Amino acid sequence: MADVGFRNPFVLHLMFALTALHLAHCRPDRREQYVTTADHHYERALVLVTPEIVNLNPSNCDAVLLAVQIICFISWGRGPQPGEYLAFGRDKKSDWLMMFRGIRTTSASIERQQFVKTRAPAVQSKNRPLPAQEVPEEYEKQLNELREHVDFVSKDTPDHDDNVQAVDILREMYDNRYQGTDTEYHVTFGWLYRMTDSYLERLQQRDPIPMIIYAHFVVLIRVLDQFWYMQGWTHHVMSGIWELLPREHRAWLDWPIKRVGWVKP
C-alpha cells in the first residue's frame, strides 16, 4: 500500500486520514485534534483523486481502487452518523454506498489483467478459514421462511427475481461464514457488491422488502464490531431500519434484532 501511496499522493493523504481517525479512537481526550487532521487529509485527497476517477485507465486503476476502498473505511471510522445507515439514508442517498459502488464501477471499468496481482479485484483467497464463530440460532429456518415470504409478496411484480436472488445470495454468505469457508471477515460485503443496481436503488428508496433482507444482512456484519472502525455501526443501522420500516413489516425484524442484541425503543 505504501508504494502506491508514494506514487499517488491522494492515497497517501487517505492513509493519513484513516490513521488520524484511529488515533482519535485510541486517544479520546485529543479526538477533536485528530478528527481535524483527518478532515484536512481527506479533503486534500478528494481534490486529487476526483480527476483520476474521471480519467480511469490501466496506469491509475490500482491507485483509484485502493483509494475508494480506503474511503469506505474512513466513512466507517468516523463512526455512526445521523441518518446514514450504510446501504441507505434517511434524508438522502447513502454517501457510503456511493463509494462502495465505486469499487464495483472501478473494477468493471478496467480488465482484470490491468490490475497488479496483489490488488486485483475479488479473487477467492486460499487462506485458512476464520476461527469458529457462534452460529445465529436457526438461521437456515429463518432464511427459508424469509425466502418464502419474499417469493410470495413479490409474485407477479417486476422486482420478484431481484428480491429472491438477494435472499439466495445472502443464504450463500451465511453458509460460507458459518460453515468455515470464508477466509476474510469483510467477504460478507460481497452481498452488497453482488446486488443489482435496481435492487440497491430500491433499498435507497426504503422499499420494505429490500429493507427486511438488509436487516438480515446486518446480522452478518455484527462480527465486525470487534474492529475499531466498525464499532457502533451494527446497532445504528438496525435502529435506522426499525425507525424507517413501516410498522406492518416490523415483525420480520424480530429475528435479526435478537441476533445483534439491539434493544427496541
**Segment 13-42, tens digit of pLDDT:** 999 999 999 999 999 999 999 999 999 999
* CB 81 within 8 Å of CB 28: no
Please identify which residue in the block is written with the cell numbers 479485484. Answer: 121
Domain presence at residue 73: yes
The number of folded domains in the chain is: 2
Q: Say how far apart CA 25 and CA 79 lie, in whole Å.
A: 9
Per-residue pLDDT tens digits for 150-172: 999 999 999 999 999 999 999 99
Residues 41 and 144 in one domain: no
Question: Is residue 227 a part of any domain in this protein?
Answer: yes
**193 and 254: one domain?**
yes
72, pLDDT greater than 70:
yes
Q: Which residue has the higher pLDDT, 51 or 1?
A: 51
Do 165 and 203 reside in the same domain of the chain? yes
Q: Are residues 67 and 98 in the same domain?
A: yes
| Residue 211 is assigned to a structural domain of this protein | yes
One domain, residues 92 and 169: no
Are both 248 and 203 inside the same structural domain? yes
On the question of pLDDT at 115 being above 70, the answer is no
pLDDT of residue 76 exceeding 50: yes
Q: For residue 176, what is its C-alpha cell? A: 460460507
Position 107 pLDDT exceeds 80: no
In a domain, 238, yes or no: yes
User: Same structural domain for residues 102 and 198?
Assistant: no
Sign of CA dihedral 243, 244, 246, 252: negative
Q: Note whether 143 and 187 are same-domain residues.
A: yes
Residues 211, 57: Cα–Cα separation, whole Å: 36
Choose the final residue of a domain: 119, 152, 179: 119
**113 & 19 share domain:** yes
This prediction has a pTM of: 0.88
- Per-residue confidence (pLDDT) for residue 108, from 0 to 100: 72
Q: How far apart are CA 44 and CA 10, in angstroms?
A: 7
185 and 72 in one domain? no
188 part of a folded domain:
yes
Question: Whole-angstrom distance between the N-terminal and C-terminal Cα of the chain?
Answer: 43
Considering the domain architecture, whether residues 231 and 162 belong to the same structural domain is answered as: yes
% of residues, the chain, pLDDT over 70: 88
User: What average pLDDT does this structure show over 187-208?
Assistant: 92
Q: How confident is the model at residue 265 (pLDDT cuts 50, 70, 90)?
A: confident
Look at residue 131 and tell me if it is in a domain: no
CA distance 24 to 100: 24
Helix (H, G, I), strand (E, B) or coil at 159: coil
Which DSSP string do the residues of 184-247 spell out, in sequence order?
SGGGGGHHHHHS-HHHHHHHHTT-HHHHHHHHHHHHHHGGGGGSGGGTTHHHHHHHHHHHHS-G
What integer best gives the mean pLDDT of the chain? 88
Examine the domain organization and report whether 149 and 54 are in the same domain.
no
Domain assignment of residue 188, given as a range:
139-260
Contact predicate 154/168, CB 8 Å: no
64, part of any domain: yes
Contact 4, 63 (CB under 8 A): yes
